Structure 1
């Protein structure tokens, strides 16, 4: 059995078709800071959350790379974060952002689709 105290965090790999466009999106719209970039890889942080972007060839069938990707970022104040990000989020095409709302399972969330269709959840316990 692994000692749980040795585990620090989950930092998902998010596939993208254009690394520079995806880095710009996460910085401009979601408030992440890039800490490292080389070739087809970038590592970004927002508070305690980390994210690894990996540029890959587009899917042969034409589906967006993020089509089946999603991840959840736990926050302390979902409405406060949404208010901070809202000016940039308002510039995204219709259907890419879902404003904060309460879930039946006791979370308050907002959702954003990234440049390649990955669904990013931001949420907190009610």
Structure 2
């Protein structure tokens, strides 16, 4: 039986160049393909497809969960670049009641990127 080997979300943007700069500089992704209104970015072999839409289009609310092996280490690595983002775009690591430790980042079009690592459930 054939298997699904990967799921790669599309991220809508009103400016492909602005988003590519963000994903590369702030989050450490590499652009491996770029043509017209579409690009593929990846980090550690995991990717996102970024597609530019009409500037007047309603992109709707977008959210992407990025599972990490050590969310605190990823945050520490990215922190110098994240500190350069406008105020309110980053939420530092915190524990969720559903046994995940996360930090959150909004991209230039306010797609919410949730970086997370499973933690032991709270006993409270």
TM-score normalized by the length of structure 1: 0.90
> Which residue does the alignment assign to 1:40?
37
List structure 1 runs of 4+ shifted beyond 3 angstroms: none
- CA positional deviation for 1:80: 0.3
Q: Which residues of structure 2 form unaligned runs of 5+?
A: 120-124
Alignment equivalent of 2:105, drawn from 106, 112, 122 = 112
1:51-103 Cα offsets, whole Å, 9 max, x none, are 0000011235xx6x3x5001100000100000000000000111000000000
Question: Which moved further from structure 2: 51-60 or 21-30?
Answer: 51-60
- CA positional deviation for 1:7: 1.2
> Which residue does the alignment assign to 1:89?
82
Q: Which residues of structure 1 form unaligned runs of 5+?
A: none
Tell me the secondary structure at the aligned position of residue 8 of structure 1: coil
| 1:7-46 matches, cutoff 5 A | 7-46=4-43
Tell me the secondary structure at the aligned position of residue 81 of structure 2: helix
When the two structures are aligned, how many residues end up with a matched partner?
A: 119
